[in-house]
Amino acid sequence: MKKKVVSLLVAAMTVASLTACGNSGSDAPAANQEPAPAEKQEADPAPAESQAEAPAESQAEAPAPAADGGTISVGFAQVGHESDWRAANTKNYQDTFSAANGYELSFVDCDNDHAVQIETVRGFIEQELDYICIAPIQSAGWDTVLQEAKDAGIPVLIVDRAVDADPSLYTTALGCDMVAEGEAAGNWLAEYLNGGDANILVIEGSVGASATLGRTEGFNNIVSQNANWKVLDSQSGDFTQAGGQEVMESFIKSYSDFNVVVCQNDNEAYGAMDAMDAAGITYGVDGDVTIISFDATHDGLQYTLDGKITCNVECNPLQAGFAEDVIKKLQAGEAVDAWTLVVDEAFVAPGITSKYAVTMSQEVLDGRAY
Ligand code: AHR
């Protein structure tokens, strides 16, 4: 159905969100300074780093869309199809916002193109959809189109990644704490090396994405606490296997003295392993190079179980249920949290025990839903 007018009281939410931001105390973009929810909706046990103070709520004050029981239209401007994580996230949204569940989902794969994503959101506004979900390719550049959605009275959910726009311009945000993920990787490495030197190469994710900015910031927070660690180089592999392989091949030409490779997602790690295999460089628990990865998808955790990726920090892609909870609350005219944290955990190869991570086993792998 076409949307009816929905007006949200966002002022209180805005004040609370701004107050809750800035927990890192750094000058990083606001997108990475993520407050945690009052009503935490946990997908997995919480790592210690993921806790913070609670935001206020917003309240629907007018009849919600589809209050008559009709189909609810939802637009989803997805990042693209760059990774296994993204495929799992897309499937989760398509399964959740299905016709059988009472939704009409307009799904657009924006192919990692920010301009396409902005125009996609504009199209959703023109179509007067009931709700808009945006997984932002990059954190900057959102103010104008978010203002347009707000002017049109369409609730916007910022999902997975963050934006650095004023929170009064959107209804709610949900996703993982990317800074905490980077810190978890760094804390685990400090524990693992136990005072040993680290010459580190970083294969970053897509430029300008909050997942990249947050993981980089969080990991660097721990690097700065370890005087004998050095980041030799840090380049974008665009969250793809091909990108990871290309960056690793170029690193291998320039550096011979590295002992740690940090890949900001599993697909980059697969590419980096291909490059090291071709160069005869050994890696993993029995090799010369320690690989840290992010996402903890099924295949990534298989490599962790096999001892090739030594530590894999989760980013849970099963987030659509949190978005649906928000929409259901708005439908019922209830208040919603300004921010919902999707909680992660980390995993390490068999034979390693860590206070920061779960030791991998076949049982853990068999229990994975993605
Ligand atoms: O925003 C989540 C990140 O985006 C995942 O780590 C990565 O695999 C995806 O491309």
- Residue 65 pLDDT: 54
CA distance 91 to 98: 11
Question: What is the 26 CA–ligand 1 centroid distance (Å)?
Answer: 23
The pTM assigned to this predicted structure is 0.85
Q: CA 227 to CA 166: how far, in whole Å?
A: 37
Q: Using a pLDDT cut of 70, give the percent of the chain over it.
A: 81
Q: Is the pLDDT assigned to residue 240 strictly greater than 90?
A: yes
- Ligand 1 site, residue 238, Cβ cutoff 6 A: no
Q: How many angstroms is it from 69 CA to the middle of ligand 1? A: 35
Cβ–ligand 1 distance for 270 under 6 Å, the answer no
* pLDDT band (50, 70, 90) for residue 369: confident
Residue 275 is classified by DSSP as H
Return the pLDDT at 69: 66
* pLDDT for 29 beyond 80: no
For every residue of 108-157, DSSP letters joined together read EE-TT-HHHHHHHHHHHHHTT-SEEEE--SSSSS-HHHHHHHHHTT--EE
Q: Say if residues 209 and 137 touch (Cβ distance below 8 Å).
A: yes
Q: Which two tokens stand for residue 241?
A: 């296997």
CA 81/CA 86 separation, integer angstroms:
6
Answer yes or no: are the C-beta atoms of 299 and 318 closer than 8 Å.
no
Q: How far apart are CA 350 and CA 304, in angstroms?
A: 8
pLDDT band for position 101 (cuts 50, 70, 90):
very high
Give the end-to-end CA distance of the chain in Å, rounded to a whole number: 32
Angstrom CA distances, 173 to 126, 177, 220, stand at 22, 12, 25
Q: How far apart are CA 154 and CA 148, in angstroms?
A: 9
Instruction: Examine the pLDDT at 87 and tell me if it is beyond 50.
Output: yes
219 or 16: which carries more pLDDT confidence? 219
Tell me: pLDDT of 173 over 70.
yes
Whether 131 is in the pocket of ligand 1, judged by its Cβ within 6 Å, is: no
Confidence grade of residue 68 (pLDDT, cut at 50, 70, 90) = low
Compute the distance between CA of residue 155 and CA of residue 134 in angstroms, rounded to an integer: 11
Q: Average pLDDT, whole number, for the chain?
A: 86
**C-alpha 274 – ligand 1 centre gap (Å):** 20
Q: Which atom of ligand 1 is nearest to the CA of 85?
A: 8
Q: Provide mean pLDDT across the span 75-84.
A: 98
Pick from 19-28, 162-171, 212-221: least confident: 19-28
Q: Which atom of ligand 1 is nearest to the CA of 209?
A: 1
Contact 136, 142 (CB under 8 A): yes
User: Which residues face 109 on adjacent strands?
Assistant: 78
Q: E strands within the chain? A: 8-9, 57-60, 72-78, 103-109, 131-134, 156-159, 172-175, 198-204, 229-236, 260-263, 290-295, 311-314, 335-337, 339-341, 346-348, 358-359
In ligand 1, the atom with minimum distance to the C-alpha of 297 is 8
Token duo for residue 100: 């059988």
Composition of the chain by helix, strand, coil, percent to 5: 35, 20, 45
CA of residue 70 to ligand 1 center, whole Å: 34
**Residue 46 or residue 253, greater confidence:** 253
Residue 99 has pLDDT above 50, yes or no: yes
Average pLDDT score over residue span 348-366: 97
Q: Which atom of ligand 1 is nearest to the CA of 294?
A: 6
Residue 104's pLDDT band (cuts 50, 70, 90): very high
Contact 120, 97 (CB under 8 A): no
CA of 212 to the centre of ligand 1 (A): 8
